[in-house]
Structure 1
Amino acid sequence: MSDTHAQTAAYVRESMIGQSAPPTGQSGAIRWMRENLFSGVTNTILTLVSIYVIWVIVSHLFPWFANSIWRADSLTQCREIRDATVGADAPAACFAVIVDRWQQLVFGFYPQDKYWRPVLALVVFLAAIAPILFQSLPRKALWFSAAAPFLLFFLLWGGSVWLPVCVALGFVIGAVAYRLLVASAGTLTATLAAIVLPLLYWLFLAGPLDAALTAVAPVGLEYVQSKDFGGFTLSFIIGVAGIALSLPLGILLALGRQSHLFIIKMISVGFIEVIRGVPLIVWLFTASLLLNYFLPPGTNFDLMLRVIIMVTLFSAAYIAEVVRGGLAALPKGQYEGADSLGLDYWQSMRLVILPQALKISIPGIVNTFIGLFKDTTLVVFIGLLDPIGLTNAIRASTDWNGVYWELFIFVGLMFFIACFSMGRYSLFLEKKLQREHR
C-alpha cells in the first residue's frame, strides 16, 4: 500500500481479528444430533421409534428397580413389605433373594468356613495371569504364572501338598529330557521323549511317590470333594481350565491340519471334524455316562475332570479352525522368508509365522473363549450345579418359590462381567499390536 493511500484511508487494520465461534447448529451436541440422529427422513423416523421403544422399556423397568426390596427372609415377606410401602399393585423386585443366597450362587456347596480358599485362589489366578496379559510387568513373574495352576489346585481341592508337587515334577522331567536330547537326537525325538517320559512317570511313579511323601510329612489342607463345587466358582474353574488348555492344543491341531505328514494331517482333520460335528451337550453326556464304560473296573475318574477334558477338546477343535484361518491369511512370502533365513519348521513357526497368525486370529480366538465360558452352564444337564442349576434349587425351596428375574439378572451380571472383560482385553491387545506394527 502506498503512503498517499495510507494517509487518505478512513481505517487501517493493525491486528488480526480473532476467530468467531461457529454457529450453534454447527457445533457441539446439536451438530452431533443433526449428523447422527436426524440426518435424513429415514434416520429421523428410526430415531423417534427407538426413543419410544427405550421409553417404554425404561418406564416399565424403572419402577420395578426403584421399589426393589433388599431385606426379607422369603418372597412372602417381600410382598408384605411391598404392600405396606408402595401398594399391592406396584411392581417391586425382590432382590432379598440375592442377599440371602449370594454365597450359594457364588460358591455352591463349598464349606462356608473354607470360603477363603476360593477367594485366595482367585487372587492368585489374577496375579498369575497378569504377567501373561501385560508385557510391562517383569518377565521373572512368569515363573509364578507357571507354578500357579498347581497352587490353585491345592487351594481349591486341598488334600496333600505333595500331590501337586509330584504332578509338577512330571513337567520338569519333560523339560529336562527335551533339553538333553534336542541337540543330540533332534527336535522330533526330544519332543516325543518330553511327552512320553512324563506320561510314564504320572502313570507309574507319581502316585507311589505322593503316598511315600505324605507318609513321611503329612502336610496339606482338608480335602473338598468336587461334588461340593457349584455356582459361579464351578463355571469359572471349568471355563478358565478349558481356555488355558484349549489354546495350545488348538494351535497344535491347526499346525497338524496343515502338515505335509499324511498320518498327522488325517488325525488332526478327523479329530476336528468329529468334535465339531457333535453338540457340546452330547460330549458332556459322553463324559458323564459313557466314559466310565471304557475305563478299567473300579476306576474313579472325577466328573469335573471329565467335564474339563471334554470342554477342552471341544474348544480346541474350534480354536484350531480359527488359527488355521490366521495361517491361511499370511502371504506365502512369509513362509519363504522364514525358509530363506535357514530356520527349521519349529523355529519358523515360533518366530515368524505363529506370531502373525495369532495376531490376525485374536478376535476369533476371544470370541471362541467367550462362547466356551458361557457354555459352561450346560453342565447343569449332567448333574453339576452351575449358577443356572442353583437358581432352580433356590426356587424349589418354599421361601423363594416364584422368584425368577432377580436370580437370572444376578447370574447374567456375573457372566457379563467376565465376558465383557475378555472382550475389552481383546480390543486392548488389538490396538497395542496395531501400534507396534506401525
Structure 2
Amino acid sequence: MTQVKFAAGCTLLVALHTLSGVAKDVSCDTSSNCSANDDDEASLVALRARGSRQPKLGFDEKVQEIFKQLDTNEDGALQRDEALEAGLQLIRGSAPTSVLGSIPDKNELQALWGDSVHGELNLDEFMQAAELARSSSELDRMLWWKKTTTTTATWLSKTLTPQPVAAVVYSIGTGNHSAARLGLQACLSTWASNLPAGALQIIGRDQPAEMIYSATAWDPAPECEDSHAGGACKDAVGLVKGYKSGTGWVVLLGDDNYVFPHRLELALAQFDPQEPRVLGIPGCSAAQCSAGGLCGGGGQVFSSGALELMIRASGVEAFLAEQKKEAEEVGNFGDLANCRVASNRSLHVQELLGLHGWAESNEELAKDSLEALTFHYITPAQMFQVQKSLDSMPSALMETGRLSTSEYVQRYQQAKLKHVNEQQQRRTSLSALHRS
C-alpha cells in the first residue's frame, strides 16, 4: 500500500489498514452488511477499510472537490500548507470527535507537526486516506476503537490535541468484569465527565469494547491481573504514569469511588505539591508500616514531591520491583505496599479530612454530599443519585467549597475510627489466610 506523504495525519489513517490485519471468513450481502466468523472483528475492520462497503453517494466527488479547492496552483499536488488544511478537513469530517477533543487550527497543527508534513500529496493518496478515515456506522466505530485504542487512536488524539498538565491526575484502577465495567461507566458519566484534558487515567489490563468515549484516558497495564494482587500492581502503574505526566498530584481510586473534584482540588491547594507528601486515611495496618498505615479505599493522594522520592530517585523499574515485593510481603494490599514504599523514604501518611473509605446508606450519602471529598463502595445507581442532587444545587453553593462543620467533622472521625478497626480485623484475617 502506498504511504501517504501527509505523514503525521494520513499515514496514521492508512495505518489502520495494516493494524486491522487480513480479512478472512467474512461475508457481505447486497446491502453491504458484513459479518465475521469467530472473533475476527479486526478482519471486518480491514474489509471495510478496503472499501468493501459501497461509498456514500457523492463521497469521491466531495473528496475531489476538496483537493481541487486546495490545489490552488493546479499542479496536481498539495504543498505544505495545503496538505495541513487537507488533513484538518479529513480529520474534522471523518474521525470520531470523542477521541480527538478540540481540533487545533492550521497554525497550531503546523507547530505541532513541524517538518513531518512533506507536501506533494497527490489526489490518489488524498482519496485513499479519505476512504480509510471514513466511518459511517456505529459498528464501525465500535470495532475501530476496540482494535486501535491503545495504538493509532491514542497516538492520534495525543498528537492532534495539545495535552495540558493537569493540576491533579485521577487514576482509576479497574477490571474487565461486569461490576467493574458498570462502576467505571458510572464514574465516567458522573464525576469524571467534566475533567479537563489529561486529568484522568484508567489503569486496566483489557479495555472493555463498549467504552468508546473513554479511549483517550485508557492506559493499558497488561501485566496487572484482574485480581486482588492485580490491584496493587495497578496502583504502582498508576503512580508511574501519573508521575510521568508532570502533574502536581496523583489520586489513586477504584471504579467504586465517587469523587468531588473541585472540592478535592481546593483541599489540595493548601499544600505545595513539590513537598513530599502522602495524604489519605491513616491507620490501616499501622503495625506493618511505620509511615502510619494507610486505608486506601477513600483514595490515596501522592504529591509530585513524594513521587520524586519514590520513583525518580531509584528509577521506574526499581520502584515497580520494590512495590511488588512490599505487596507480596503484606498480602498484596496495594495501599499498604504504597505506604511501605513511602516509609522507606521516611515519608508519613497525613490525614486528608473528607476521604470516605467506608460504605454509606443513601441517607448518609445525601447528608455528607456537601462536605465529603470522596465516597467508597458506592453503586452506579448511587453515583447517579449523588450527581443528580449536586446538579440541582445552586452553582454558587457548589463553588464555595467545603463547609467543614463541626457536626460533619465529628461524624467523619467516628466513622473513620470504625472503618480503620474493621479494616484491621479484615486484613489480619486475610493475611493469615494468605500465609497458610
Tell me the TM-score normalized by structure 2: 0.23
Q: Which has the higher strand share?
A: 2
Of the two structures, which has the highest relative contact order with CA contacts closer than 8 Å and spacing of 6 or more? 1
Structure number with bigger Rg: 1
Tell me the TM-score normalized by structure 1: 0.23
